[in-house]
Amino acid sequence: MKIGVVTFPGSLDDHDAHRAVRVAGGDPVSLWHGDDSLREVDAVVLPGGFSYGDYLRAGAIARFAPVMTTLIPAARGGLPVLGICNGFQILCESHLLPGAMIQNDHRTFICRDQRLRVENATTAWTSDFTQGDEITIVLKNQDGQYVADTRTLDEIEGEGRVAFRYLIDGPDTSDSVRYDRFAGRNPNGSYRDIAGVTNERGNVVGLMPHPEHAIEKGYGPSLDGLKFFTSVLKSVVSS
């Protein structure tokens, strides 16, 4: 299965995404932002980074890259697409996913191992999980606050389109929690603790944390990220 990974000016995690696809058993294919060809791939990953320096808004310029002129209609037609961090921002700017990403409410960059709960295990990128699974993957961003109006939030909640939610640490019961500046709250101010969402069809998923940094023992906080990539491989086979 060929999984395309798009490189934009400022992409940082495209090589990591390539490796995640390969470790999962897929064939990673490089896609260039300035080329409108998807090279007949079976799915696409929009990786993390700071495309075009995050000028205007994160993802706002990348949304108009030549590759997106092909990717947007392909995604609307059912092509599986995963947006990670900056990729999530691009998907929101492209209106492939609802809502928007703005600066973290504490106005600082964050990098930490982050616990999430899987809220939707029926998408092309989450089918190897079980709803309610708790996973830990890397979070690193400065524009990671997910926002939307109340109507949109109620709609995606009601339709089961919240894919991942930040898990909030409870009362201070250990030193690891007591000295965590984000204990009792999510790490970036995202509305309703939303860490990732999906479209109605379930082929497009975006999230702020980075599954590609949690695929190998000894590198990253867990192996939880690998299931994103094995999920899409199985989804392509079954489609």
- Give the Cα separation of 203 and 219 in Å (integer): 28
The residues carrying an active-site annotation are: 85, 210, 212
Q: Say how many CA atoms lie within 13 Å of 54 toward its Cβ.
A: 16
**CA neighbor of 4 nearest in space, from 37, 46, 44:** 44
| Cβ(207)–Cβ(84) below 8 Å | yes
Who's near 228: CB < 8 A, 6+ residues apart?
A: 20, 82, 125, 126, 128, 211
Structure tokens, 182: 């984000």
Structure tokens, 200: 């109605």
β-pair partners for 205: 82, 198
**CA neighbor of 182 nearest in space, from 139, 230, 150, 129:** 139
